[in-house]
Amino acid sequence: MINITLPDGSVHQHESGITALEIALGISEGLARNVLAAKVNDEIWDATRPITSDSRVKLYTWSDTEGKAAMWHSSAHLMAAAVEILYPGAKFGIGPNIENGFYYDIDLGDRVITDADFPVIEAKMKELAKQKLGFVRKEVSKAEALKHFEDKGDEYKLELISELEDGTITFYQTENFVDLCRGPHMPNTAFLKAFKILSVAGAYWRGDEKRKQLTRLYGITFPKAKDLTEYLELLEEAKKRDHRKLGKELELFAFSQRVGQGLPLWLPKGTQLRELLENYLKKVQRKAGYQQVMCPHIGNVELYKTSGHYQKYGEDSFKPIQTPVEGEEFFLKPMNCPHHCEIYKVSPKSYKDLPLRLAEFGTVYRYEQSGELHGLTRVRGFTQDDAHIFCTPDQLKDEFKGVIKIVMQIFKALDFKEFITQISLRDPNNKEKYIGSDEVWEKSERAIIEVDQEEGLNGVVEYGEAAFYGPKMDFMVKDALGRKWQLGTIQVDYNLPERFELEYVGSDNEKHRPVMIHRAPFGSMERFVAVLIEHCAGNFPLWLTPNQIMILPISEKYQKYAEKVLNLLNNSDLRARIDERSEKTGRKIRDAEMQKTPYMLIVGEKEELDGSVSIRRHGEGDLGSMQIDEFIKMLNNEIAELIAE
RNA sequence: GCCGAUAUAGCUCAGUUGGUAGAGCAGCUGAUUUGUAAUCAGCCGGUCGGCGGUUCGAGUCCGUCUAUCGGCUCCA
């Protein structure tokens, strides 16, 4: 007999060899039908795996992340089983569950799968699932495992097995499909009711672009058809927030094939939005002791040789441009830091000059591979809200914290509540990718980790994500479809000051080397605007909306009064326009609503007589009427609250 | 860059087995002078992404280039 402890603390005696599924059955049949996996002590197990010693057991169902994981992982096997039947000779790479669904990487030889094949695969999956197939676990020796896949001729599995230790290898079998797999899996396939192959894509074997590209099939499954419908509707909703769609509809930005890919054109409304953001940040920075500077868009190749960027990125940059007579070489500016270092060097510095905070909305140009470009989030020409802080080593942590404060202030003003703080350190196994000594790197990384702890940010450490010259703290936000984008970044750099031989004279009258902080709270204006659009679905905070108010005269007779209202609003720094078309009020309202204009002011005879406006708020409807000055006061209060510090 | 898909009017989209392009919205003109999500009528608008090929004939089939979309790789 063994003792099983359930999460509520109750202890039950069972025969050795009992399974989590059987324990569930002892509680209720309904529960047993829904158990997908179980936590046995600290490991996640198949619910059908015999438990042979005293254990703590927690059951997982569809409502648990772990339950979904087991189900989607099992679904990946099911999909592979279907593919193996439909396309004999297919070889398999890896097939994990992901945040929403699962994928499998498959080598189909010369066969090409397109979305036309999806229904066939879905149908086969459904057919198999109905048969209530199990996922049979089997422990195998390394020799057995290798023999199995040698016989099958699957070099991908052989490679994976060769890296495993004998005695730790397990197979799972579903019908005829046998897979190398650690598990856990759901008890059987009958729980799966809805199947969707979402997309097909190429993916390099083991993420290495020098190796073969396999076909990756993405899919998702659900226990009810209704869940799938809801999920697909959610995806449709997300697409409506897509900044590329809204940017077009709201006339914020555009691209032109003739101008070139990845080179955004900012339209008047988008430019206005961007300038409002810039002015806001400039004001915040001015208060925080920053000074604005400006630099040209090109720089001599020597500048980037000094900084080390040439050696690191020279081959992957836009080719240098040359002067026709002298043959001098210039790079399009890919970053602002080297220029700012040269600004630092213009005059000798004393410790009394530090910290020196140089800020620039610097437009930079980077060669990005064509397949990587994406709306405004990944472009070839963009403007960083850049600044470089030159300080003494003693000042580093306080300066770093000062930057965090600015980032948080911005996120708060724009209502970004959900973001991930990431501590990007270098890859300890791949140090040659980075410049600078171990000592300097350790010092920088320690500083960031300490700041993270002292500020209670709970940053997630990611190795191999550092810049080549120093570690970073990055702030990541998700787009409408859940893809993560880096916005704000703060980087510690001991290397550039070294390479540029930056110095200051300390109170000891000796020369010292300053430390540098690179930072961009927005990241880039392009990416920030993109994520902002998706975040608020185009309903910008009032202070940022290009056109805050649309005045809608009932007819031409009230044009004069509308103009009077417009003047009053403009004089109070509110951005308003008049819809002068000879359309019905219903039509004007509809168009203003579609443009997501926050306030609509309807003016007619009644309003003209008593100096009021009839107010309609976007998405809310009629708010009744108000005196003009009262309305102005209300809006100014609303704006002041939004950007309060 | 790689794998797959897509490209028709300013926008959203139709266009059968190859037979000389169509709708709605937008725009322009006129009428209408309007009270909380689409007033009516007329008109304008297209090298069917570019180039090349097959064919008596190509928006439709083939090749190639460009751009876009979904991934992979990359991201100073």
Q: What is the pLDDT of residues A182-198, one digit of tens each?
A: 989 999 999 999 999 99
d(CA A45, CA A21): 11
pLDDT at A196: 96
Give strand pairing partners of A492. Answer: A517
Nearest by Cα to A440 from A393, A400, A473, A388: A393
Nearest by Cα to A77 from A207, A186, A160: A186
Please confirm whether the linkage preceding A428 is cis (ω < 30° from 0). no
The answer to whether some atom of strand B lies closer than 7 Å to the beta carbon of A216 is yes
pLDDT at A642: 81
d(CA A309, CA A523): 19
User: Which pair of structure tokens corresponds to residue A363?
Assistant: 């437009």
Nearest by Cα to A269 from A290, A251, A284, A257: A251
Is-contact A192 A76, C-beta < 8 A? no
d(CA A367, CA A360): 21
CA distances from A612 to A55, A162, A609 (A): 74, 80, 8
Is-contact A364 A335, C-beta < 8 A? yes
pLDDT at A315: 84
Where helices occur in A44-199 by DSSP H, the ranges are 65-86, 118-130, 142-152, 155-162
CA A351 to mean position of chain CA atoms: 39
Return the amino acid letter for A361.
F
Closest residue by Cα to the C1' atom of nucleotide B34? A584
A204: left (phi over 0), alpha (psi -120 to 50) or beta: beta
Give strand pairing partners of A422. Answer: A460, A474
Nearest by Cα to A107 from A217, A21, A10: A217
Kindly report, residue by residue over A17-57, the tens digit of the pLDDT: 999 999 999 999 999 999 999 999 999 999 999 999 999 99
The answer to whether some atom of strand B lies closer than 7 Å to the beta carbon of A251 is no
pLDDT at A116: 86
Q: What is the pTM of this model?
A: 0.94
Through-space separation of residue A391 CA and nucleotide B25 C1' in angstroms? 58
Positions of A marked catalytic: 337, 366, 384, 386, 388, 472, 518
The answer to whether some atom of strand B lies closer than 7 Å to the beta carbon of A320 is no
pLDDT at A645: 60
* CA-based R_g, chain A, Å: 31
The answer to whether some atom of strand B lies closer than 7 Å to the beta carbon of A565 is no
477-536 on A, CB < 7 Å from strand B: 481, 483
Q: How many residues does chain A have?
A: 645
Return the amino acid letter for A215.
T
CA A431 to mean position of chain CA atoms: 26
Nearest by Cα to A86 from A55, A128, A44: A128
The protein footprint on chain B, as nucleotides within 7 A of a CB, is 1-5, 11-12, 31-39, 66-76
3-state secondary structure of A314: helix
Q: What are phi and psi of A615, to 5 degrees?
A: -105, 135
* Residue ranges of chain A with per-residue pLDDT less than 70: 645
What percentage of chain A's residues is helix, strand, coil (to nearest 5)?
Answer: 40, 25, 35
Query: Which nt has its C1' nearest the CA of A621?
Result: B36
Through-space separation of residue A82 CA and nucleotide B71 C1' in angstroms? 22
The answer to whether some atom of strand B lies closer than 7 Å to the beta carbon of A619 is yes
CA A446 to mean position of chain CA atoms: 26
Residues contacting A20, CB < 8 A, separation 6+: A35, A37, A38, A40, A45, A47, A48, A49, A51, A57, A59
3-state secondary structure of A148: helix
3-state secondary structure of A172: strand
3-state secondary structure of A524: coil
Q: What are phi and psi of A477, to 5 degrees?
A: -130, 150
Count the neighbouring beta carbons within 10 Å of the beta carbon of residue A592.
23
Q: What count of Cα atoms within 13 Å lies in the side-chain half-sphere of residue A336?
A: 29
